[in-house]
Each structure stands twice: as C-alpha cells, then as structure tokens.
A and B are shown apart, each in its own frame.
Chain A
C-alpha cells in the first residue's frame, strides 16, 4: 500500500496502481483521451502529463505506477501549459463542428477545451480534408476529421472482442482508422465503439442526427434480453409523455457494472428497442365475431373475472391454463403464487419463453430472458407450454407472454387454441396471434415497471420504472392482482 501525495492530498493506494487511477479514485480530475479503464495504458494522447517531483520531464499519469512517497502535482503552470498545447494541437486539425456533432455535450475534447484549454484559435493554415462518412459496419459511421486517434476503438476490437476489424492505416498526420476492404466491423458488440469514442468520430445510425444530448435524461435499468441482465442506461426525451415510452428512447447505453457486464453491452441489448414502439399493442380489445371491440379495464375485468371465477369456484368447465414468461418480475411471480393460484386450484402453469440461443462466451447468455431464476425461486418449474395439453382439456387460457408461439409452428398454435373456450393474451407487444384470442390486453415493458430480476449469477437486480406504462398498458402485476380481486368478489 504505497502512499503518494497528489496536489497536497495524501492517498494510500493498492500496489501497482497508476497515478491516474489514484487521482480519479480520489476525485482529482486529470484529462485523458486514449486511456480507458478497460485497456492497458497506451500513452499516446499525451493529455495526462503531470509533474512528479524529482523527475525532469512531465510524466504520464496513465502509465506511471505509484511509488512510495511520490509527490504528484496536476495543476502546475508546466502541466497546464502542456495540456493547453496538446488540446491546441488536437483542435488545430479538428473540424470544430460541434453545432452539428452528435457527441456535442458529452464530448471529451469539448469538455477538456472548456476545462483546460481555452486557447485562442491561431491555426491559420488549411486543415486536412478527410473522409466524413466512412461506413465501418452495419450501423457505424466514422468521421475521420473528428477522430483524435486515441485508438480506443481499435484496441476494443483487438483486446475485448478479439475480432480486430479496425486498424490504423497510413502515417503521421495522414494516420486514419479504417477497416480492411470488404471486412466491416461485424462483431455483435460494435455499438460499444460509439460509447468508447471520446469525440464524435464514430456514430451509429440509430442515434445519428436524432437529437442533442443535452435534451436527454438517463435512467438506470436492466436489460431483459438475456439471463445476464446487463446494467443499462436508458436515454430518453422527457418532453414527449404522449408518445409510446419506447418511442421516447433515444439510446441504450451500458451502465458500468463490474460484477455483471463491465462497461459493455451487446448490440441486441443496445438496439433491441428500435422497433419496439411500432409493435406495441394499442388498446384493450375483445375479438367479438371477428370484430375488435375496444373496452375499458373494468369491463374486461368483469368479463374475464366472471369466466375464471365460475371455473374456479363453481367447477364449471375442464381447467384453466396460465402461461407466464420469465421476463416477469419476482414481485409479479409472487402475485401469481400467493394471490392468484390459491384462488384457482385447478390452474396449470406453463412458461412461454423464447427458444434458447447461442452463448457467445462473453456477455450474451443462451437463455434469452432475464428472470428464470426469479421464477424458479418462487417454486415455478418453468415447464414449457405444451400445445397438446392445451388442446386436450382447457376451458380458459390466460397467456402473459410476448413470446407466445415462438417455439411452435403457427398452424399448431391455431389448432390448439381452437379447442379452448376463453382465451386472453396479455403482452406489451404484438405476438402475431392476437386474432386467435378473445381478449387482448396490452401490458408494460420492463422499463415501465419496478421490481426485481434474479440474473444467471443469482444476483438480485432492482428494476425501477423509467416511464409510466404507455396508453392502456397494464403492468402484469397490477392486472394479476386485479384479476384475483375480481375472482374473490364474484365468488
């Protein structure tokens, strides 16, 4: 545990800690562009130079290991001067097109200029002209004029994904980040390059030219698209309450969580929201004689409650099937277990989850829902929905799953459902089977409700609502509680 002094503050740090980490941990700001906590120091941006007592030259904070008794100064005239010069060099060949840059507002170069630069623009020469719209991959676009050659993107693809699609080509001031011809960035983690880029050089088509960063608010959430449950930020526009919440989402970004996802997320999680708002179910409706009849919560509760109640308490009919999915929260499973099931003794419970996919060995898990452990923790056996059982003897089927029908051929689903007297579908998005159900009830997305997930590492993950449920959307927990109350009332 060596002890060092930074700007007069004495700090004890773990062996092998660098000056930059020691400073950041203590809340002392040292500017840096090429350094990123996930990579070994590169030392190329030269912004983090600081004064170390006893050494003739300025030293790199990012790569200098703390030695006992080291005295570091981060705000001497020499250090300030050095930072100003480096920023001046960077800005000399930078387009300074902040007014049309998607990174503006969260750009490191912009921030550092304000904090440490504030030099006058004396560069009187012609700037280098470079390619402004280089397609790096499916969604990635590179603006080489904005690039500061920190090479974080290159190192991410080399050290983290190992796919090495990007490299630095040419030399000197002509150095540029690029791909080999015909070999675009194809990793399923490409979106991280946008976050890694400290300036607006790498942007993605999902966010490009959509909004200004300062209009956005960020709320923490948990990605429900696989069992890892990556910690994420949902960036949304707080100004549009009447649009579907997911249409107000402008970006999903990783929320650094060392125990779960580190600083990264995969592109499924990042871009999964893009089409979501177009698939939202608009309103509660009843398919009556081939016509969609919109109805209120009270009305549908009465209709459904009566049918379920008569089956549950007066034993009329064959049985009731409840189909859940493992993206429901622990609390919602609790409502099913403790409130609903005791009132319907004949109920059978199945799960309709998406089919398992590939485990990519990094973040993405083969289970494509997040809360299977939460379900089994409440005693559910996660039995997959069996269409044979449905066809053999059910009077009522209540499906709470947007994944309904994903694992079975559509014809089989139709046939099985035909034998069931009353069918209700509760889902936040269209499943393609809405026409086969009597009642269709839009429900809430995970970002619209609070609760708990238990991820594959058996960690409890708290989900807090980012938006209120949109339109008629009814959080599953509230719907289930209301249904249970209705059954009690009618029986």
Chain B
C-alpha cells in the first residue's frame, strides 16, 4: 500500500511552517473553496460522507458531531481544538502543530464555517511551549493576511482563533474538563448530558475536535469525500498518523491509510523489532487501549476492528513491548500514571486507581501475594463503566487487559517461595 501524503508532505517542506510555504504548497485553497463556492450545509455533508472518525481517541464520526450543534440558537457557538495530546505514547498532533500549523488553522476555519462558529480556541498542552509559540505565530500570520479575523478572504465570514495553553493535566484532554479549564476553572469533567454540542464552553453550543481530525478537513474539501474514503475504509476514511514507539528499529510517526495491518506498521514501516528482541505485546492506541498479545496483531488498524479485538484504536499510538520488558513494569507504569492523573472528582476513579497503584507497587517491590491478580481484576472492574468521565475506563481497561492476557507472567510476582 502506498504511503499517503496528507500530513507528511509538510515534513521537509521548503520554508518549513511559514504561511508562504504553506501557500506555495496549495494551502488555504480548500478554505477558499468552502467559503467561496460552498454552503455550510454542503461542507457538513461532504465531511459526513467522508466518514472521518475522530482522531483523539473515541473515534466518533466528526460530521455527526458537528451536526449535533443546534442550527438556531441565541448563544454564540464555539470551536475548541483539543491539542492537549496527553495520552501516553501519543506524539502525532505535535507534528501537525509544529510542522504544518496552517493545516490545522485551515481545518478549523472550514469547520467553523460549516457549523456557523465565529470564535475558536486551541487548547494546547502546557508542555508544548515551542509548538504553542509556533502556532501563535502562524495564527498571527493568518490574521495578517485576513485568513482569520472579522472578514476572512473578504467573504464576510468572521473567525477569531485564540491559542490557550493548558497547565499539564491529563484530564484536561477529556473534552468537558478541557472546557472547564478553558473557562478558567479546575479541570474537572462535567456530568453528561448535556453534551458540549448543546451546552459547552460558557454554556454555549460547542464543537470539540482533535487536531488531526481538523487537519483532515482541507483534504476532504479539496479532493472530495470519495478521495478520502478511497484512502482509508468506507466507514473509517483517510489516513492516520500512527505514532510508533517502543522496541522497534525505527520509532516515529507514520502516516498510513486507516486499515493498514498492525503487523505491517510494526514490521514494515517501523523497521521491525530491535535486533535480538522478540515481540511480546502491543498497546495499539495509546496507554488506555487494552494490550494485544504478539499473536493478536494481524488486524487492520481501524476503529471497528480494534473494538472487535477487545481494544481500541484510540489516538493511534502504537506502543511496542518486547520480550525483555517485564509486564509487571508495564502494569506499574499504567497503575502509577492513572493514579497520578485521576482528577479526584468521582469515587471509583479517585480511590480505585490509587488502590490499584498500591497493590502493583507492593507486587513490584517483592510483596506480591496470591490473590493479588484477582484483586486487580476486581478493582479494575469496580471502576469500569461507573465513573463520571471516560478516564475511569481508560484506567481500568489496560489493567484488565494486562492481567487477563499476561496472568501467568504476573503470577510470578505473587507467589514467592
């Protein structure tokens, strides 16, 4: 399968991330086409037909999400770009933000036009200091050329885009916690319903999209929905940025069509395992995705196939674990991460993740006891599906996956002689 070039074309482009280079490469043609030749309804229709699934983690169809925003409302509508990329193993959005910021701006512009939004925010994680500056510079360039502002392209459409930096909390990548944080409050997820499409930022209808999701929009508008689904799958279109990390020869971000087999991503594109290492496990979609064993990787990387395999495509972050890595270490990292990042609002997540951490830390320091594995499974099940926001599942599922699939290895830590 040929490597597609929606994003990767920007890498190594002459002039880098400047607006001149972007325009040279045909940038902002899609936005001009949308604003000049199309109606908002036509743009929305095209995105719906393209089967663009959200790239942030949940894989929700983007067109459908836009469609939930009420057309008639007396409130302003907002677009929030989720650039909080905090899922462990995920490092794809930073490539778009850092190397092709105008692709995101153009995507946000088209999305805003389609939904009738005049105010957009990019919520970027605090750790991305340099990237945030680069994005701010790109926004300034776009404003200077009247690609953003009160009269975009002279079409009369107005869009104000503002970059907001987070303060480094995983939970602020959860969409409603992101809204709270953006409003200047503590980043606690909100009770849903109401969903952000009806009651979002400052109580107004809000669209929240991942960076990569929006960066796909210009291509869809320019080349059409059919071009997009041709690249990927009819129900899951386009290419994705797979961030491959771990014990592979060539870790990095790979732009590949949705549906590329996981085995090919690891063994063809990422150069296979490091010399002398054997594949033991793969976490296919960021740390929250339940682990796959080495014999489970013959599946296409698309949202539906991974759900069928009991995992999820998530953010497309492929973490490759080799035979030298004890699963207990993986479990310890998982347990510590979620205990550390739980916002503390709801009971099962606040106390459950911490309990799991304590058990795993005890196991890792030689104090494992018979029954600990069952205990972990029981605790994770006590969190799963019962929390206020999806982070409960994000914390519980990887633990369940690891203890179910690597039980015999983990038992080594629970029955010392």
Contact = CB atoms under 8 A, between A and B. Distances in A.
Interface string A29-71: 0000000000001111111010000000110100100000000
B386 A85 contact: yes
A173 B343 contact: no
B359 interface: yes
Contact of A43 (B351, B355, B362, B388): B388
Given A46-B386, A85-B386, A173-B354, 18 more contacts: A44-B347, A49-B386, A82-B386, A85-B382, A86-B348, A89-B351, A128-B354, A148-B347, A149-B347, A170-B344, A171-B342, A171-B343, A172-B341, A172-B344, A172-B350, A172-B354, A173-B353, A175-B343
A122 interface: yes
A123 interface: yes
A168 interface: yes
Interface of B: 169, 186, 191, 339-348, 350-355, 358-359, 362, 369, 375, 381-382, 385-388
A434 interface: no
A436 interface: no
A47 B362 CA distance: 29
Nearest to A127: B358
B389 to A, nearest CB: 10
Give the interface SS of chain A, mostly helix, strand, loop or mixed.
loop
Closest 7 CB pairs of A and B: A175-B344, A85-B382, A125-B358, A89-B351, A173-B354, A172-B342, A43-B191
Contact of B346 (A44, A63, A88): A44
Contacts of B381: 85
Given A46-B348, A173-B350, A88 B382 contact: yes
A124 B169 CA distance: 30
A449 to B, nearest CB: 47
Interface of A: 41-47, 49, 57-58, 60, 63, 82, 85-86, 88-90, 92-93, 122-126, 128, 148-149, 167-168, 170-175
Contacts of A63: 191
B185 to A, nearest CB: 10
Contacts of B382: 85-86, 88-89
A124 B375 CA distance: 11
B344 A171 contact: yes
Contacts of A60: 191
Contacts, number: 92
B177 to A, nearest CB: 12
Contacts of A88: 382
Contact of B340 (A42, A89, A149, A172): A172
A380 B347 CA distance: 59
A89 B395 CA distance: 15
B347 A90 contact: yes
Contacts of A82: 386
A173 B344 contact: yes
A384 B332 CA distance: 77
Contacts of A90: 347, 351
B354 A93 contact: yes
B375 A172 contact: no
A414 B351 CA distance: 67
A229 to B, nearest CB: 37
B347 A58 contact: no
B387 A46 contact: yes
Nearest to A171: B344
Nearest to B352: A89
Contact of A58 (B339, B343, B352, B385): B385
Nearest to A42: B191
A46 B369 CA distance: 30
B379 to A, nearest CB: 8
A43 B342 CA distance: 16
Nearest to B361: A125
B186 A168 contact: yes
B353 A45 contact: no
B169 A171 contact: yes
Contacts of B345: 44, 149, 175
Nearest to A83: B386
A123 B362 CA distance: 12
Contacts of A149: 344-345, 347, 350
A92 B344 contact: no
A172 B385 contact: no
Contacts of B346: 43-46
B384 to A, nearest CB: 10
B403 to A, nearest CB: 17
B348 A125 contact: no
B342 A125 contact: no
Given A63-B191, A172-B350, A173-B339, A46 B388 contact: yes
B355 A58 contact: no
